[in-house]
């Protein structure tokens, strides 16, 4: 919430005796609300992370909220119990029929042809691809924020070249991650001329976090048709020297594309395009 709507917040606070701020990041809103209250001369307490009513770190659950309310209102008949853990889809295996499965299987076979998994460094992003970190693929070496996989891959590839280590780098990126900020990393990789294979996993949606559309989905948040951004055109404009699109739903040869991408002496992009299995099932239902 930036900038904070000071006047609206001040007007809201006028009717209150106390405030409890719930936020799962640093207590930024808590601090700003406390500042607004002080500026307009209100003496009401503002509770939250900084006052110890909410745990300083970690995800918040109903039990945390109940404990905070009981502490603020001791007479409140509310048991501070309930959920303390949230199911994490990223730790589940890939869904049956997911187009990523044959892609990762082919990638594993390509690694074997070029000296084995130890000869490669794999970077990635948040998204469904993180499920490849577990069984049976154990793919990724480095994963950070959304869209960062390509930039990290470019830096590692540049480092490997300077060390003359012979290790090759593969950067995994989802379609939404590429549009979020991965494109910037691809521009840098191409400008530096690093030897890097960028594998864009294009399932047409933002599957892991709720199936939100993105600029390449061809539809807006209301489901209305909209012109979709062409990922290959963006990769071309970024300066990638080799760009291949593989239609997994039509039986495209992903193995051959990955192999030629690995062999390419420069920045190569393979776009593995296949519809999310869950979206496909919903359309057929």
- pLDDT for residue 49: 94
Contact call for residues 274 and 249 (beta carbons, < 8 A) = yes
Domain that holds residue 54: 6-72
Query: Using CA atoms, how far apart are residues 11 and 37, in angstroms rounded to an integer?
Result: 10
Contact call for residues 120 and 170 (beta carbons, < 8 A) = yes
Query: Using CA atoms, how far apart are residues 129 and 199, in angstroms rounded to an integer?
Result: 11
Which regions of 203-262 does DSSP assign to beta strands (E)?
242-247
Q: Is residue 219 located within the same domain as residue 147?
A: yes
- List the CATH number of the domain containing 175: 3.40.50.970
Number of domains composing the chain? 2
Give the ranges where 84-230 is alpha helix by DSSP (H): 100-113, 149-163, 175-177, 183-192
Domain for residue 249, yes or no?
Answer: yes
- pLDDT for residue 77: 83
- pLDDT for residue 265: 94
Q: Is residue 149 located within the same domain as residue 220?
A: yes
Q: Is residue 161 located within the same domain as residue 238?
A: yes
- pLDDT for residue 89: 64
Domain for residue 115, yes or no?
Answer: yes
CA 62 to chain centre: 25
Q: Is residue 130 located within the same domain as residue 208?
A: yes
Q: Is residue 64 located within the same domain as residue 185?
A: no
- pLDDT for residue 191: 94
Q: What is the pTM of this model?
A: 0.72
Domain for residue 84, yes or no?
Answer: no
Per-10-residue mean pLDDT of the chain, 285 residues long, equals 86 94 90 95 94 88 89 84 67 84 94 94 88 83 88 94 89 91 94 95 79 76 81 95 95 95 97 85 62
Out of 72, 106, 127, a domain closes at: 72
């Amino acid at each position: 919430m930036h900038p904070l709507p000071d006047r609206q917040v001040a007007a809201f606070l006028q009717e209150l005796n106390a405030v409890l701020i719930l936020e799962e990041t640093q207590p930024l809103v808590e601090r700003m609300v406390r500042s607004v209250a002080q500026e307009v001369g209100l003496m009401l307490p503002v509770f939250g992370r900084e006052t110890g009513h909410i745990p300083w770190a970690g995800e918040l659950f109903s039990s945390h909220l109940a404990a905070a309310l009981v502490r603020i209102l001791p007479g409140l008949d509310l048991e501070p119990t309930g959920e303390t853990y949230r199911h994490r889809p990223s730790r589940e295996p890939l869904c049956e029929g997911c187009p990523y499965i044959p892609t990762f299987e082919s990638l594993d076979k390509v690694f074997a042809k070029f000296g084995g998994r130890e000869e490669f460094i794999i970077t990635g992003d948040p998204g469904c691809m993180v499920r490849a970190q577990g069984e049976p693929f154990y793919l990724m070496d480095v994963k950070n924020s959304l869209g960062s996989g390509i930039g990290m891959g470019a830096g590692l590839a540049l480092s490997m070249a300077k060390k003359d280590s012979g290790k090759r780098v593969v950067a995994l990126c989802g379609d939404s991650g590429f549009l979020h900020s991965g494109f910037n990393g691809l521009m840098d990789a191409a400008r530096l001329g690093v030897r890097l294979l960028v594998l864009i996993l294009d399932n047409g949606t933002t599957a892991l976090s709720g199936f939100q559309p993105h600029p390449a989905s061809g539809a807006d948040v209301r489901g209305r048709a909209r012109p979709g951004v062409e990922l290959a055109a963006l990769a071309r404009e970024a300066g990638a020297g080799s760009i291949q699109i593989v239609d997994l739903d039509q039986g495209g040869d992903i193995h051959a594309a990955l192999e030629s991408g690995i062999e390419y002496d420069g920045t190569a992009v393979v776009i593995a395009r296949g519809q999310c299995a869950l979206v496909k099932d919903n359309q057929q239902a």
